[in-house]
Amino acid sequence: MEAINTYDGWLQELAEEETFLLFVKTDNCSVCEALFPQVAALEEDYGFPFYYVNAARVPELAGQLSLFSAPVVLLFRSGREFARFARFVPMAELERRMDELEEAAGETDDQ
């Protein structure tokens, strides 16, 4: 999982990547630390990139995405939010939505 360290870096990934996952964490968050490796382990099963950002270090991003807690897992497609999971993330539901996202990406690629 690749880190996003600046707001400009975020804008660049948003513009360049068709489909991706963004994991938002913050400092001193035990739930973030427990969830991060579970989400990171899914990256090898999907054909789109995973990124993470520390909202305490890039507060502009947290403001722009209306993030009020952590962790948050966001799925993006075509520059728009596709799904959002906050605080306690049900892994089965996250994987189901990621499967949908990957299917949607595949349908677009076939056209």
pLDDT in tens, 54-78: 999 999 998 999 988 899 999 999 9
Beta carbons within 8 Å of 86's beta carbon, 6+ residues apart: 67, 69, 71, 72, 73
Residue of higher predicted confidence among 105 and 84: 84
Q: What is the reported pTM?
A: 0.91
CATH number (domain holding residue 74): 3.40.30.10
Query: How many domains in the chain?
Result: 1
Parent domain of 83: 2-110
